[in-house]
Chains A and B, each alone.
Chain A
Amino acid sequence: MPTSPRVMTDRALEVDASGKTDVGLLRSENQDCIFVDQAQGFYVVLDGMGGHQGGATASRVARDVMVETIAQGRETWPPGKLLVEACKAAGSAVHLQARADRELHGMGTTVVALAMPRVNQALIAHVGDSRAYLLRKGRLRRLTADHTIVAELVSAGKLTPEQAIDHPHASVLSRNLGGLQTTEVDLLEVELEEADRLLLCSDGLNGYATRNAIEQVLSGAATPEEATTDLIELAKRGGGGDNISAVVVEIGRASSELPETIEETGAGAWWSRRPLFMEVCRSMGLGTSPLASSLTEADALDLLGGSFCEAMYLDLEGTTGIHIWTYADSLVKAWFERDGRYGPVKELFDVLRAAALSVAKDVSRSDEDLGVCLEIALLRALIVGEMVVGGQISECIKVANETFASRRVTTDLPDATFANVATVPFSPTESPMPVGPEVNKCLADGAGAAKEQLGGDEYLMLHAIIDAAHSSASEFCGEADMSAAAIDLYGTRLLTEQEINPLLDGLETARVAHLAAVDALQVSPVARATALCALALAHQSLFHAFALVAVDAGKPTTDRLREMNASTSLMRARLERNEQHLAHFEVDIDTVEDLQS
């Protein structure tokens, strides 16, 4: 790529950059794509989507087109315009390829691209939910706003930011490259200062790591390369459920003096105050912690406090978090494996934090700057430890979920020829859409209209079905467990066609009428679609729950028949034995008669 005097004119300050992408822990393919050209000051992160191959193809096509467009248009367009045009050209290319190849239909990609025409100027273009962050003076600031439905609802004032955080469809995009022939691209300009760090990332990072954790890691890393490695590790430790990509660009000398200070004097200051740390731990009852209940108080104190103190010293000396990580991992893992509860772990970390801060306070008395640096370093290390606890808890939840799922789907037919295990285990899926006030009104009107239509002898049952579906749709987006409703509906009926078929017909009648009533309402298409979706899910859940109840109700009959078959077989065997017995008797009697004659 030719160097242009227009792009990158100022090289007085050093710019250091690094980019990494990782498949994550759950995906089989990396559909993310990055591009880092430090010489030209051009950096991109793309997150592809669209089924098998589509996502990876979309992100790679978009990257190549952007790089080519930037190279060709540098002499003719100003940098901002050039960046936007590059994004648009990439979107158009992805769209055309998706239309041309049926296998790639529906593919698209997000993009966040950074161009630095000057070292102190950043131009950021983005589409979708890949993000750009700025770390300045240790504080992380998000620069881009996600192009998601939820973000737009927040902007429009229809959702509060708090509601958006846990929104089930937080990741549904409103814009991407490739979905349409032309794409609207957001461009922003940032004046940079020395020591700033810019982070471009895909949602595989910010979706699996908190903002605070990203801030800690980004500010704590010595170099951009270390930062990208640590950020990817951070997302993996948070679950790693998506592809993870991060590009970090550092302007000037960004590395803080903190690591050097800590390495040089902080570690020593910490170790020299080990007795103080241990004394605080002892006074706060660490020696009687349930985590080491089998040990004497002194041994428990040594294990929990002494090991922490040593791990912290080693981490401070090397400014890493690996020793605290290992300390927390081995301790907490063993505790949870023994079915330990979270409370004692929390108490442990509370004690360790209090004791560590008392050490930092003591250091501050003699050297205030060192005390502050040490306090920051200690708190970072404790965050690492708490992250380990979070990871272990999520592992426990995962195991509990799997156990629950296997109990739910594994039903037994002992004599079945084939394995009776479900091929698709229960897995919680996302709720369909938000149920806002308009949708709620739509659901209420629909339920009322449907009930009015449904009369006849069975109206009580039909109304009960509609009420159950309405309740699930309005309160839980249709995701509520309908087992209880299905059991109520089944009541004390016998499993006969006369008693069950009317119920099944009623379920069908109520479902059709309910959906038709909502479909006929004069409301916005989005509200109607949301209401229909929640209702459809509720009715289908009720139907499936009812089917499971019916299948379960048939099991006693099957078991009884099996018992009777076994009993008949025994009787037949006894009859056969008696026949043989009688035959022997007849032979004996004949023999006696012969002897007598």
Chain B
Amino acid sequence: MSLEITERLEVLRDEALNTADFGPDAGGAEVFDAILSRVARTSETAPGLDMSLREALNRRLAWGENASAITVDGESVCKRLLAAVLRSFRDPEDTARVVVIIAEVSCTAASHLARNAVQRASKERALQRREMMVQRQLAAALGQQDELIQSYSTELKS
């Protein structure tokens, strides 16, 4: 896609991220950057772009941000960008191409967050199983301790 379209999207950054309200570090910047990269697609490959987006999302998750909040951020940015594109682009062909890319990136982000939730659930189920095993061992040890305490107590009384 032409460089001109990339530039026209770049000028919509503030509007898409709503930096007027949320400042320069507004959430969802990773989604906007991925859309720009996808539109430009100069040197990076599509899987490469996916990786960048996923890494950015993983970083936010790793910093303790809530997956629901990240999902809502991404959706809001895409919606605002979509509205801005429809208002500012005149050529329907350009508009259609950009709209399809916005949806693609937006869905990639949502899909990644959903898959991340699945992975996290799998991991937590495994941790639950480990925890159950530990608890069984602890219960056995506690049982033995109780018996010993009981016998010591009897011994002392006698």
Contacts and interface: CB of A to CB of B under 8 A. Distances in A.
B158 to A, nearest CB: 10
A172 B87 contact: yes
Interface residues of B, number: 78
Interface string A570-597: 0110110011011001101100100000
A500 B114 contact: yes
Interface stretch (A129-137, A214-222, A357-365, A503-511): A503-511
Given A51-B14, A582-B148, A424 B99 contact: no
A222 to B, nearest CB: 38
Interface in A274-299: none
A433 B86 contact: yes
Contacts of A408: 72
B18 interface: yes
B78 A540 contact: yes
Contact of A529 (B88, B92, B114): B92
B59 interface: no
Contact of B103 (A105, A106, A511): A511
Nearest to A592: B156
For B86, B103, B106, B132, which residue has the most chain A Cβ atoms within 10 angstroms?
A: B103
Interface string A515-545: 1000100000110111011011101110110
B77 interface: yes
Contact of A52 (B14, B28, B68): B14
A585 B114 CA distance: 55
Contacts of B82: 429, 432, 533, 536-537
B83 A582 contact: no
B142 interface: yes
Interface of A is mostly: helix
A350 interface: no
Contacts of A544: 71-72, 74-75, 106, 110
Contacts of B26: 423-424
Given A540-B107, A547-B113, A422 B80 contact: no
A408 B134 CA distance: 38
A584 to B, nearest CB: 9
Interface string B71-100: 111111111101100111010110110011
Nearest to B93: A525
22 contacts: A51-B11, A51-B12, A169-B86, A169-B87, A408-B72, A495-B117, A496-B121, A507-B111, A519-B100, A529-B93, A529-B96, A530-B92, A532-B99, A536-B103, A540-B102, A543-B106, A544-B71, A544-B110, A547-B113, A564-B131, A578-B142, A589-B156
Given A432-B86, A551-B67, 9 more contacts: A422-B68, A423-B26, A423-B69, A500-B118, A533-B82, A533-B95, A536-B99, A536-B102, A571-B138
